[in-house]
């Protein structure tokens, strides 16, 4: 069987494409404007390579902060337009105010207006073209899932939510050939005998296998998959695809010998990484506490008017290796909020004061925890520390929950910037999947992503 090729851009390829063509379109637009109009503020030439590099770096950073490389948010014209305006405005502002490595401000201020609207216009032109053409069904990747125990609708929903261009078109259930799929969505159940024909007809780009030969894959299916491999057809393991698309660990797949399935990141023992990790812990802590002290008078007045009680409060939390430590936060709830015992904080919790809501939305309530980072009980990035009573409950309900304690807890983390607030065991399981992903994959690049996404959370007031 000869494989029919169909163009599809993987997640990493689309993100690289967006970053490169953002820069190319902006530079191309500025070059056209300088050639055909009376515009000489910015020129694309070898003599001005520093101008180009600074502009490209600013553009990439601020487009990341304003979520223009978040593939779940790149398919909506309205969202993209709004974020482009924000990213373009901040990028141009920072560029204009950067000394030495950017052009001198022009005497004719109208050139700045031309610079801004050319910048924004070219980004809008390219991003709308991306939505119209690259995000269209012709670039979807259709897959068939092979498995022995799963809910195909849940798998399809989760994978397609992570990547809108990834479509589960069919499945083979190796567990029970007579079992029917339940749920609102009907996904084609494929028999082994018709798999090759189904691949041709539906232009399937990949098979995702969530079972092994020793756990239920029949000989006939095994032989068919070998035939497909021999002609170069893409067949990948489910856990690998799941992690790649969702950026979290499938906890339900871990078994008692989890060390086979969960190799810890080398960065956990890499002295150079840990050294730099501690350095930016200290730098961010000093900067955070300095800014916090400048804002403290305003917070004090807001607390006096809106909270009517103590400004700070402390709690015992579980840290690295299960050791307990005390965190300090700005109080956001009414006094005696837990008079009847420890309670999960809920979304729209009635115990949160009006000023407390503002503190949470802006993440200002977390500023005192920079002291915990400075003292070494916490890190800037890591799983959020939980209270001992909740850890004890969750460890009974969720397998491997205490794995998250192998590293220091963090002020921010992959779970905090990836999902919204949770207050149930199921929500904690969801958060754990992201925490384990961070522990498995942690490194400087992932840390940078978390910092940038944290800035997005603060800018868009998504604190809980």
Beta strand 166-173 pairing with 235-237: unpaired
Is this structure's pTM higher than 0.75? yes
Count of residues for the chain? 464
pLDDT of residue 441: 87
With 80 as the cut, is the pLDDT of residue 463 above it? Answer: no
Beta strand 324-330 pairing with 312-318: antiparallel
> What average pLDDT is seen over the chain?
84
Question: Considering only CA atoms, which of 387, 383, 378 is closest in space to residue 314?
Answer: 387
State the average pLDDT over residues 219-231: 87
With 80 as the cut, is the pLDDT of residue 101 above it? Answer: yes
Cα–Cα distance list, 54 to 39, 96, 165, 328 (Å): 20, 11, 32, 39
Cα–Cα distance list, 460 to 310, 362, 384, 454 (Å): 28, 9, 21, 10
**140-246 has which CATH code?**
3.40.50.10700
Contact by Cβ (8 Å): 424, 416:
no
DSSP 290-344: HHHHHHHHHHHHHHHHHT-S-SEEEEEEE-GGG-EEEEEEE--B-TTTTTTS---
Give dist(CA 264, CA 442) in Å, integer: 9
Alpha helical stretches, state H, 376-413 = 388-397
CA atoms within 13 A on the CB side of 324: 9
Residues 6+ apart with CB under 8 A from 387: 315, 316, 317, 318, 342
DSSP code, position 204: E
pLDDT of residue 259: 59
Task: Give kind and range of the element (H or E) at residue 454.
Answer: helix 444-459
Q: How confident is the model at residue 350 (pLDDT cuts 50, 70, 90)?
A: confident
Q: How confident is the model at residue 23 (pLDDT cuts 50, 70, 90)?
A: very high
Share of the chain above pLDDT 70, in %: 84
Over residues 308-349, the pLDDT tens digits come to 888 998 999 999 999 999 999 998 888 776 666 666 666 666
Give dist(CA 250, CA 162) in Å, integer: 14
With 60 as the cut, is the pLDDT of residue 46 above it? Answer: yes
Contact by Cβ (8 Å): 58, 46:
no
Query: Which is higher by pLDDT, 74 or 379?
Result: 379
Cα–Cα distance list, 324 to 100, 345, 367, 377, 381 (Å): 49, 20, 20, 9, 18
pLDDT of residue 254: 61
Give dist(CA 243, CA 414) in Å, integer: 13
Give dist(CA 142, CA 200) in Å, integer: 11
Question: Considering only CA atoms, which of 307, 449, 291 is closest in space to residue 370?
Answer: 291
Q: How confident is the model at residue 119 (pLDDT cuts 50, 70, 90)?
A: very high
Q: How confident is the model at residue 47 (pLDDT cuts 50, 70, 90)?
A: confident
Identify the weakest region by mean pLDDT among 95-104, 136-145, 284-293: 136-145
Cα–Cα distance list, 331 to 303, 341, 352, 421 (Å): 8, 17, 9, 18
Q: What CA dihedral angle connects 433, 434, 436 and 437, to 10 degrees?
A: 120
For the chain, the domains span: 11-134, 140-246, 266-459
Q: How confident is the model at residue 179 (pLDDT cuts 50, 70, 90)?
A: very low
Question: Considering only CA atoms, which of 231, 229, 253, 232 is closest in space to residue 241?
Answer: 253
Could you tell me how far CA 287 lies from the centroid of its own chain?
Answer: 25
């Amino acid at each position: 069987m000869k494989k029919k090729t169909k163009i599809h851009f993987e997640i990493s390829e689309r993100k690289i494409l967006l970053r490169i063509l953002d820069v190319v379109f902006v530079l191309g637009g500025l070059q056209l404007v300088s050639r055909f109009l009376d515009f000489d503020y910015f020129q694309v030439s070898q003599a001005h390579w520093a101008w180009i590099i600074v502009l490209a770096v600013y553009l990439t950073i601020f487009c990341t902060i304003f979520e223009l490389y978040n593939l779940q948010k790149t398919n909506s014209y309205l969202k993209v337009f709004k974020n482009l305006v924000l990213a373009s405005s901040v990028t141009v502002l920072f560029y204009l105010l950067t000394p030495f490595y950017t052009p001198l401000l022009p005497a004719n201020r109208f050139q700045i207006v031309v610079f801004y609207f050319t910048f924004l216009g070219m980004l809008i032109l390219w991003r709308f073209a991306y939505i119209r053409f690259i995000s269209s069904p012709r670039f979807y990747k259709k897959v068939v899932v092979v498995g022995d125990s799963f809910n195909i609708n849940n798998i399809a929903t989760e994978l397609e939510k992570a990547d809108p261009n990834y479509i589960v078109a069919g499945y083979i259930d190796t567990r029970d050939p007579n079992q029917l799929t339940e749920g609102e969505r009907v996904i084609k159940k494929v028999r082994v005998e018709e798999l090759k024909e189904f691949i041709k007809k539906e232009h399937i780009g990949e098979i995702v296998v969530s079972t092994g030969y020793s756990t239920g894959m029949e000989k006939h299916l095994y032989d068919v998959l070998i035939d497909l491999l021999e002609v170069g057809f893409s067949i990948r393991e489910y856990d690998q695809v799941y992690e790649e698309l969702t950026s979290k660990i499938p906890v339900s797949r871990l078994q008692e010998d989890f060390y086979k399935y969960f190799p810890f990141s080398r960065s956990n023992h890499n002295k150079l990484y840990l050294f730099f990790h501690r350095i930016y812990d200290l730098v961010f802590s000093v900067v955070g506490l300095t800014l916090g002290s400048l804002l403290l008078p305003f917070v004090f007045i807001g607390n006096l008017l809106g909270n009517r009680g103590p400004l700070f409060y402390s709690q015992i939390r579980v840290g690295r290796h299960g050791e307990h430590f005390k965190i300090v936060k700005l109080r956001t709830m009414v006094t005696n909020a837990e008079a009847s015992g420890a309670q999960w904080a809920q979304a729209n919790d009635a115990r949160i004061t009006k000023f407390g809501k503002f503190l949470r939305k802006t993440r200002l309530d977390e500023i005192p925890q920079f002291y915990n980072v400075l003292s070494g009980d916490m890190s800037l990035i890591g799983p959020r520390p939980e209270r001992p009573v909740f850890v004890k409950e969750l460890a009974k309900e969720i397998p491997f929950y205490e794995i998250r304690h192998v590293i220091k807890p963090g002020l921010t983390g992959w779970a905090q910037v990836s999902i919204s607030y949770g207050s149930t065991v199921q929500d904690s399981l969801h958060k754990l999947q992201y925490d384990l992903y961070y522990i498995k994959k942690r490194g400087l690049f992932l840390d940078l992503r978390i910092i940038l996404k944290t800035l997005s959370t603060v800018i868009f007031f998504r604190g809980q």
